[in-house]
Every structure is written in structure tokens, then in C-alpha cells.
Amino acid sequence: MSKRNKVLAGIGGVVLIGVLVMVSASARRDRGVEVRFEKVGRRDLVAAVTASGKIQPKKKVDVSADITGRITRLAVREGDYVQRGQFLLQIDPTIFESNLQRARALLASAEASAVQAKANRDQSDRALRRTKELREQNPNLVSQEQLEQGLTAFEVAEALANSAQHQVDQARAGVQEARDQLGKTHIVAPMSGRVTRLAVEEGEVAVPGLYSRETGLLLTISDLSVIQVMVQVDETDVVRLHLADSVEVSIDAFPDTTFLGRVTKISDSAILTAGSASLTGQSDRAVDYEVEITLGNPPADVRPDLSATARIVTDTRKQGLSIPIIALTVRENTPLSTENRPADTTTTSKKKEAEGVFVVNNGVASFRPVKVGIAGDEYFEVVEGLKEGETIVAGPYQAIRDLKDNTHVKAARQGSDTARARAS
């Protein structure tokens, strides 16, 4: 090979090596994990708890039967508005009217017996006084035995008079009881409101609800001037709630309207349901607490038991430093060195986990622990660990989950990133 060919071959080899180096470097750059970048910024954050429940009036009364009888007249229908004291329904009063007449007759008889007993007592009293006067005038005219017999007769007559009076009192109480029973056949509204439930029809037999509340229920009257939403909140969220917290309520029957309200009561005890606890007293079911929300602007045609969803605002931040919720992940910290420690055969060392994000510097993502505050709908408040303007890995979810510390990353193509975000 000539000298010229050798020189050309050497130059070609150098160029080839340079090209290979450049291709290798480019390949290393292209091997970075595709992720979505976002800068740490400030936003208005709203922390909220969402719970579902039912619409209920603040005050309602279940009207029940206290006596047994057939309903002979029904004066209201479901949905009617009634005033306090308004007639609602009539239970057949025939047997109760008879009982009242019988009680009145017994009272009249007892009063007559009392009058007779009182007359006998007065006669015995007068006879006793005459016997005493004769005894004082001349002891020989009236013996001591006659005086004692007169005294005994008076005491007996007085006891009979007292007994007759007690019989009168008893008969009078019987009349009052019969009158009260008769009054229970004429049922009136205990308060003003709307009849939201009518459980009986004319001709049915009303019975007292001695063992079941539903058995004796006739109708329900609800005061719809104040409407509440009773929701069930999980035990992990109820501790974040406070009285007077602002609430946005969505009612399924009014899909295009949101109603405002306030938390007015938070239950101190959990909701007990059938089978909520096992025989051992333990349960693996979720524990819920009942929370009462009072609406400030209820719709005019709202009805009890409508389904509703409440969004209770527990905290807010104005222009708080924040990161996307999807960016926060958990990684294990490097365990402390166990050198020069005695062996422990009873316990094993546990790795501590830390919450944090991957901060990007010069194309390298490094895990950094952070402390977060309240959680909004899409962003966490950052309390410690980050500064405004730093770049972090903000998605997609699977990439953050698999990302290692000090990994090369690159910006994902928009189409690929969108598809992955939707999948996650």
C-alpha cells in the first residue's frame, strides 16, 4: 500500500471513531426516561372532604296510634300542608263513647252512695251528741255501754262516708280516662308542616306501636322550612371537620344547581349498623360518623330522603407553594449502618420510608424528601423541601413509580405523554 493510501486510511479511521463516539453519546442521551416536567409554583389550594347522604328536614314528627280502632275518616293526603291543631283522621269512637257512658254511670252511682253514706254519718253524729247530753244530765238515764255503742256507730258511719268519697274519686278518674281514650280517636296535627308520608288508608285498623315503631305509624309531618343533609364521613376524614365549615351540596334531583350550607353537628359516636361487630367485639368494616349540614338556600320543592353529595371545605391556602399530587411518591431511605452493633435475633431492622419528589437538574432526576400540608383537588401544599421555580417530575404515574434515584430523564413527547397520563 502506498504512503498516500496509508494516510487516507488513517484519516478515515479517525473519522469513523469520531462518528462512533458521537453516535454513542447521542444514544446515551436518548436513553433517558421520558417524563413530564413541571416547575414548583404557587396556587390557591382548597382542602375538602366529600361524603354522600340524604336530605332530611330539621324537624319532623311521626304521628302514631295510641289505641286500636278502624279509621273511619282520613282528612289529608300525602303532600298536603297542615297547620298545628288541624284535624287529620278519625278512628271509630263507638266503643270509646260506650266506655265513657259507662264511666259516667259509675260516677253517678258512686256519688249517690257517697251522699247516703254522708247522711248516715250525720245521723250517727247527732245521735251520739244526744246520748252524751243525756249522760251529762243524768248518768242513770244512759249507761256507759250505750254511750260506747253510739260512738262506735258514728265511727263506722264516718268510715263508710270516707270510703264512699274515695269511690267517687275513683269513678271520676275512670271518667277522665274514658274521655282521654275517646279524645285519642280524633287525631290532630301536633305541628305545622307538610305531610311527607301517609302510611294508612281509610278503612284500615290503626294499632299502637308497642313493639315496632313502624306498626303504629299513621303519617309523618315534616317542617321543610329548615333543610339538612345527613352524610356519613369516614373516620380518617371526620377529624378534619369543624363546626361552621363551608359546604357545597349537590342534590341528584337538581343536577344543575349547587347549594351552600354549613356543618352544624358532628357526631361523637360512630354509626352502628346490624352486623357491624363480630361476636368478639371486633370488626373489619369501615367506621363512619354522621355529620349534619344545614342548607342556607334549599330549593322550594325539595323532599326528604333525596340523595345528596356534600363537599365540605376543611382548609384553604392563598398562593401556597404546591406540587401535583401525582408527583408525590414514596421511597425507602438508606438504612443506618449496623456495624459494631450486637446481633438481635428477635427483631429485624426496618427501612424507613419517606415521601418526596424527583427534582431534575441537568437531565438527572434525584429523589428529595418533602413535607406536604393540605391536599387540594390536584395539588399538595409544600411545607418543606422545595423552592419555587425548581423543576420536578410531574408524571406520568407509572414512570414516577418505576423511577430510580439519579436517573437520566428527558421530556416526553406530547402525544406519548398524553396517552400515558390517560392510562394512569
CA–CA separation, 192 and 142 (whole Å): 77
Higher pLDDT, 281 or 32: 32
Per-residue confidence (pLDDT) for residue 17, from 0 to 100: 65
Q: How far from 105 is each of 108, 173, 351, CA to CA, in Å?
A: 5, 13, 91
Q: What is the mean pLDDT of the chain?
A: 84
List of E strands, 165-244: 186-188, 193-198, 205-206, 217-234
Residue 31 has pLDDT above 90, yes or no: no
Cβ atoms of 370 and 384 closer than 8 Å: yes
The rounded distance, in Å, linking the Cα atoms of 299 and 293 is 15
> How many helices, marked H, and strands, marked E, lie in the chain?
6, 20
Residue 306, helix vs strand vs coil:
coil
Give tens-digit pLDDT for 193-224: 999 999 999 999 999 877 677 778 999 999 98
User: What kind and span of H or E run contains 301?
Assistant: none
User: What gap in Å lies between CA 103 and CA 168, rounded to an integer?
Assistant: 11
pTM value?
Answer: 0.65
Shortest CA distance to 36 belongs to which of 365, 383, 370?
365
- Phi-psi bin for 84: left (phi > 0), alpha (psi -120 to 50), beta? beta
Average pLDDT, stretch 14-31?
A: 54
Please give the C-alpha separations between residue 98 and each of 63, 73, 203, in angstroms, as whole numbers: 25, 20, 21
* 343 has a pLDDT exceeding 60: no
Q: Kindly report each contact of residues 7-13 with a partner whose C-beta sits within 8 Å and lies 24 or more positions away, as own/partner.
A: none
Alpha helix (H) ranges present in 184-296? Answer: 235-238
Retrieve residue 286's grid coordinates: 369501615
- What's the pLDDT score for residue 265? 95
* Cα angle for residues 13, 18, 22 (degrees, 5° grid): 150
> How far apart, in whole angstroms, are the C-alpha atoms of residue 332 and residue 343?
23
